[in-house]
A = this chain, B = another copy of it.
Amino acid sequence: MKTESTDANTSDQGLITLAHGAGGRVMRQLIESICVEAFNNPALALLEDQARLDMAEIAAHGDRLAFTTDSYVVDPLEFPGGDIGTLAVNGTVNDLAVSGARPLYLSCALILEEGLEISRLRRIMASMSDAAGVAGVSIVTGDTKVVPRGKGDGMFINTSGIGVIPQGVELAASRCQPGDCVIVNGTLGDHGAAILQARGDLALEADLVSDCQPLHGLIARMLAVCPQVHALRDATRGGVAGVVYEFAEASGRAIRLFEDQLPVRPSVRGVCEILGLDALHFANEGKLVAVVPREAADSMVAVMREHPAGRDACIIGEVLDGPAGSVQISTLMGGVRLLDLPIGEQLPRIC
């Protein structure tokens, strides 16, 4: 592997130029000295145009391949609790995990803006590598493009992911049944609030940290102990409100949330009150919503609380027969109102 660190084009003092995306020697040096080194694994080191993965090894994990993709365009690129790299790993790992899949392989495609500091790229690739290590996935294939100044925003990352769903695991939004309990694994809105603060949009000084974390370990534990989970989804853009609406619509049922049961950090609650926003609509990057039969709910919560990613797990609602597709919230005042589904953005570029 070449690490011509004396070359100004790839040294940490340098900036990304259009040449870094043009398919020549400069691009090769950048990729080899930063990405291949950070993500160190045999498939990537071959530098072929595609990773080649042993089928028998993959098929040993289950009977269905899970395949997902997400582009990350978060602003700012670095924030308390993570950066665009940790987000790109954990977000895609979680999109696999909520199908019950064991996440195995990720791709990493970079769109860099001319002028990006190479030191920043190196830092973010290192945190992607760390996050992949924690999540137990390998980044096995990649791509780098560079766009001129003013045609991008520092960097965008796409990760696609491959995982395998074990036989017998059947999770689907459409499976929610009347009487089921709605469970979350912890506090709501931490990521959205942290991004808002990191952008400098808030005048207050609050202790806001993104909850960015992989959820597949928690989910594997949940399914091992209580395989009766009906539906599972991570609550990112659109927040928990978005997920429960999807559950209600896909199942043709109604969902009622209990306002007094919603776990929200005081600092996040403060942000919401000042801005007139609802933590149910705030993005999360390490939170899931699970729908489980009522009889399994208490033991599920107990199991989740034993896992670091589920310490604040609790029941926040229940599935009702109808009206189909509606979400109600029983308020602290004892009333019941319909929960708003956001039409558009509360906060763009959250992930």
> Interface residues, chain A, CB within 8 Å of chain B?
17-27, 46-56, 58-59, 62-73, 95-96, 98-99, 101, 105, 107-111, 140-143, 145-148, 150-153, 156, 158, 160-165, 172-173, 233-234, 236-239, 242, 246, 250, 283, 341-349
Contacts and interface: CB of A to CB of B under 8 A. Distances in A.
B49 A341 contact: no
Given A153-B151, A343-B24, A345-B18, A49 B95 contact: yes
Contact of A52 (B20, B165, B343): B165
State the copy count for this chain: 2
Contacts of A345: 18-19, 21-24
A343 B51 contact: no
Contacts of A56: 63
Given A55-B65, A59-B55, A150-B150, A71 B111 contact: yes
Nearest to A18: B348
Q: Is the interface of A mostly helix, strand, loop or mixed?
A: mixed
A347 B22 CA distance: 7
Nearest to A173: B48
A68 B50 contact: yes
A95 B153 contact: no
Query: Top 8 nearest A-B pairs by Cβ distance?
Result: A19-B344, A23-B237, A22-B345, A23-B238, A160-B160, A69-B107, A50-B68, A158-B158
Given A23-B236, A109-B158, A160-B160, 12 more contacts: A22-B342, A24-B345, A25-B341, A25-B342, A49-B233, A50-B66, A54-B64, A54-B65, A55-B65, A67-B140, A69-B158, A71-B111
Contacts of A283: 23
20 contacts: A19-B344, A21-B345, A21-B348, A22-B344, A22-B346, A24-B345, A25-B342, A49-B234, A50-B163, A54-B65, A55-B58, A55-B63, A55-B65, A69-B107, A71-B111, A73-B145, A107-B160, A146-B348, A148-B349, A158-B160
A24 B62 CA distance: 33
Given A147-B153, A151-B153, A52 B23 contact: no
Contact of A238 (B24, B52, B95): B24
A158 B71 contact: yes
Contacts of A236: 23
Contacts of A70: 109, 143
A344 B348 CA distance: 35
B54 A68 contact: no
Contacts of A24: 238, 242, 341-345
